[in-house]
Every structure is written in structure tokens, then in C-alpha cells.
Structure 1
Amino acid sequence: MIKLTVKDIYMNYHSLKGSTEALKDINFSVNEGEFLSIVGPSGCGKSTLLNIIAGLIKPSSGDIYMDDKKLTSVSSKMGYMFQKDQLFEWSSVWNNIILGIKIQHKSPDLYKNKINSLLKNYGLINFVNYYPDELSGGMRQKVALIRTLSLNPEILLLDEPFSALDYQTRLNISDEIFKIIKKEGKTVIMVTHDIAEAISMSNRILVLSNRPAKIKKIFDIKFSQSYNSPLKCREDPEFRIYFNKVWKELNV
């Protein structure tokens, strides 16, 4: 079942010096429960596309559809995780998590059971009164994810969510967060520069060209064995084959 459709998206930026074409004729769909990654050269417009999908930026032309309904504004059915965890250092883990609920003028009490369940399931229940500077980078990312999941979005948009972490932490937390996302049954669109990360986590990878960004190719990622861990996917003999194909497409 198709969950989200990106249809005929064009994006032009205008300035006194003229017009810059950022995105050109972007069309694709995402199935319910699918994990789609978007890769492309630096500065090609990956994050711009994600922001258009989120409703944070209005495209020059084209439309976004969710459940066959045209989106005209930011949807509460989408959750967004940014490159940085965006936690407030002066606020406790609990207060950081309920911030999104308060912004939507909803009562945190209505979500208390959901949040406590997430905290228990993902090893943070004993840290609710801690402050962000008392947590590791991986724990901070899990807090940011729980904050996003607390409102129970149907689609998660991830903009390089692990890029600020060191390599070892990045591998471990991407593995943990992948398992959390799958357990929660979310549809995911992730922007990343990391080809290995995209291959190990995704059902499909969408490759964008240099600006103006167009879709060059879409790869279906299917390993001969079934894995529930991105780290295990990296050990599969087919992993290197996919890596070389995506790398080649990015460098043609």
C-alpha cells in the first residue's frame, strides 16, 4: 500500500542575481512500512526535498500526497529528526521529550503511558531526570527519537540523524534506532551521505544527481538472507556489490 507520493516536484531559488534550479521533476512513492534512503552529491538538495515532504518548504511546483490526500501544510502524521538532536541543555530528558506535545497544545498526561513504555523498552527509564550533557551521544539520539515517536507519527523523516556521532557510536546507535523504528512499524524516509548506512538500513535507495537534482536511479535492496540488524547486513557478500553499484551511480 502506497503511504506517500512525491509528484512532479520542482524547486527554484530566486535572488537578485537570478534563478537557481535546485530540484527538477522529482517523482517517487513510498510504501507503508518501507525504509527509503535518499543519497546524492553534497549540496544537491537532499535536505531541501525532505523539508518539502515535511511541509516546511513550499516547492515551486508539484505536490505531496499522503494516503492519497494532498498535503497543504505540516502534517501531524509526520515526525522529523534533524542532524543534531536539538535537545535543550537546561531541560531534563522528560521535559525535552514532552516539548513537542506542549507545542501542539496537547496535555502530556495523555501521552504519559506511551512515553514511559518507550523509555522502558529502549533503556532510558532511569534517565528521565538527567540533563542532556549527562548523556552519551547515542543516548541523546534515542531521546530525540522517543520525543519524535511520542506523538505516534506514521512517517518518520530522518535528516542525517547519526552524522554528529563518532564512527563506532554511529554504527551502534543506527543499529538500535533501526530496531526501534521497525518495532514501532513506521514508514521512514532518510537522507544520508553514508552509502553503507543507506544499504544496511533501507529497502530502497533513491540516488539524486548533481544540482539541479533529478532522480538518477532507484535501487531495491534485497539480501538473500533476512536480517533484523544493519550491522549484520554489512557482513553479507551482497553488501559490497550494492555499495559498488551505488558508488558508481554517484560518480558517473
Structure 2
Amino acid sequence: MSKLTVKDVFMNYHSLKGFTKALTDINFSVEEGEFLSIVGPSGCGKTTLLNIIAGLIKPSCGEIFIDNEPLASASSKLGYMFQRDHLFEWSSVWNNITLGIRIQHKSPDLYKDKLTSLLKNYGLMDFVNYYPDELSGGMRQKVALIRTLALNPEVLLLDEPFSALDYQTRLNISDEIFKILKREGKTVIMVTHDISEAISMSNRIVVLSKRPAKIKKIFDITFSESYNSPLKCREDPEFRIYFNSIWKELNY
């Protein structure tokens, strides 16, 4: 059964000068536990589509379904991780990861065991009283991820979550975060410009056309069991074949 379905989504932006078509007839589903990436040319509407899925903006036409129920607004079943970590520099790691809990007027004490477990598992327990400017870029991204996981969303939406990192850190943290998400059993939809990143992390990749964006093709990504992490997947002989195929779709 599909965990999330995007059905007949169109998006037009209106202004005094007319309107701009952003998305055209977008249809796809995401299975429970699947990692799906969305790639496409710059400005084609990838983040707009993610914001529609998140319930942050309403499409001109079409619907989003979660567990076969239509999405009317932002849902607690969805967690959103942005391009930047958006950590509050004046707050400790602990206060940053409990922000969403406190916004919902809940007590962080009710989540203490879960959050402590996440911090220990992902190497941040010794840094709970540190401030963001005392952390590396990769550690900041892990803090942002734990903050997103704190309320236990079932579907995670990632908007180019590693784009602010240098290349080496990006490779390492994408590998770590992939393992975290698999261990937590999350369904993931990620927007990225990085074809290699999408191939190495995803079960499927949706390729969008230039604006107004429509789905050009959906690729199923399969590697042998010995290539069991994003870094390892880049060594698989199939990796280059996937890359070339997706690159051609983006450029024709």
C-alpha cells in the first residue's frame, strides 16, 4: 500500500502581469519505507512540489494523500528538513532538538528517553550543552535531523539537506544520515540537484522536465547487496549507467 500519493497536481503562480505554470500533471506514489528522490533543472519547481506535499502551499489543482487520506494542511505525519539547518545560535543542542516539542506545548521530558537514545546512537550525547557555532557542519545537520525526528514523523521531506556542506563532509554525512533514516524506518522524499547523491541514496528517482515541470521518467535504482551504503553504491558498475541515463533525461 502506498504511504503517500501525489495525484494530478498542477501549480500556477498568478501576478498582475498574468500567470506562470510551475507544475503540470504530477503523479507518483511512495511506498512505506521507500527513499525517493526528485531531480530536475534549476528553477523547475522541485521545492514547490515538496512544499505542496508538506501542506505548506495548496496546488492549483490536484491532491496529496497520506495513508489514503487526503492532506488538507500540514500533517504531524510529515517532517521537513530544509536546505539550511536553521539552528538557533543562542540555544544549546538540547534546546534546538526540543524546539518542535515545545512549540506544540508539550513537555520535552516526555520525549527524553527517545531523544537521549537518538543523541547516543548518532554521536551527539557529549554535545547536548554545546551551541551550534561549536559544532562542525555535519554535526549541525545531524542535530537538525534529530530535531525533525523528535516528533516521530512517518514521512521525512528533505530539501537539498547537504547542499551547504563541503564535498567530503557531504559524502560522509549523507552516508550517516541514510543509515539513520533506514534504522528509524522512515519513508523519505528528497529534492536534490546532485544526481550522484540521488542515485546512491534512493530506491527510485523522479526526473522532472524544465518549467512547467512534468515527470519525464521515473528510474528504479537497484544495487547488489554488497553495495549497502551510499558511499559503497558509488563503486557499483551500475552507478555510472544510472548516472548517464538520468543525465540524458535532464538534458533532452
State the TM-score, normalized to the length of structure 2: 0.99
Match of 1:245 in 2: 245
Match of 2:219 in 1: 219
Aligned Cα root-mean-square deviation (Å): 0.6
Map 1:94-109 → 2, pairs under 5 A: 94-109=94-109
Gap change, CA 1:31 and 1:226, over 3 Å in 2: farther
Q: Secondary structure at the match of 1:48?
A: helix
Offset from partner CA, 1:169-200 (integer Å, 9 cap, x none): 00000000000000000000000000000000
Find the aligned partners of 2:12 and 2:24 in 1 and give their Cα distance. 9
Find the aligned partners of 1:186 and 1:75 in 2 and give their Cα distance. 15
Map 1:125-164 → 2, pairs under 5 A: 125-164=125-164
Q: Secondary structure at the match of 1:182?
A: helix
Is the Cα–Cα contact under 8 Å of residues 227 and 236 in structure 2 kept in the other structure? Answer: no
Match of 2:35 in 1: 35
Report the number of matched residues.
Answer: 252
Find the aligned partners of 1:170 and 1:250 in 2 and give their Cα distance. 23
Offset from partner CA, 1:148-182 (integer Å, 9 cap, x none): 01111000000000000000000000000000000
Q: What residue identity is the alignment partner of 1:87?
A: L
Is the Cα–Cα contact under 8 Å of residues 160 and 191 in structure 2 kept in the other structure? Answer: yes
User: 4+ residue runs of structure 1 moved beyond 4 angstroms?
Assistant: none
Find the aligned partners of 1:134 and 1:229 in 2 and give their Cα distance. 29
Deviation at 1:246, TM superposition (A): 0.3
Is the Cα–Cα contact under 8 Å of residues 56 and 74 in structure 1 kept in the other structure? Answer: yes
Deviation at 1:226, TM superposition (A): 4.5
Find the aligned partners of 2:123 and 2:40 in 1 and give their Cα distance. 34
State the TM-score, normalized to the length of structure 1: 0.99
Find the aligned partners of 1:249 and 1:100 in 2 and give their Cα distance. 39
Map 1:180-191 → 2, pairs under 5 A: 180-191=180-191
Deviation at 1:7, TM superposition (A): 0.4
Q: Secondary structure at the match of 2:95?
A: helix
Is the Cα–Cα contact under 8 Å of residues 7 and 64 in structure 2 kept in the other structure? Answer: yes
Any gaps of 5 or more consecutive residues in structure 1? none
Any gaps of 5 or more consecutive residues in structure 2? none
Aligned residues with identical type, % of pairs: 85
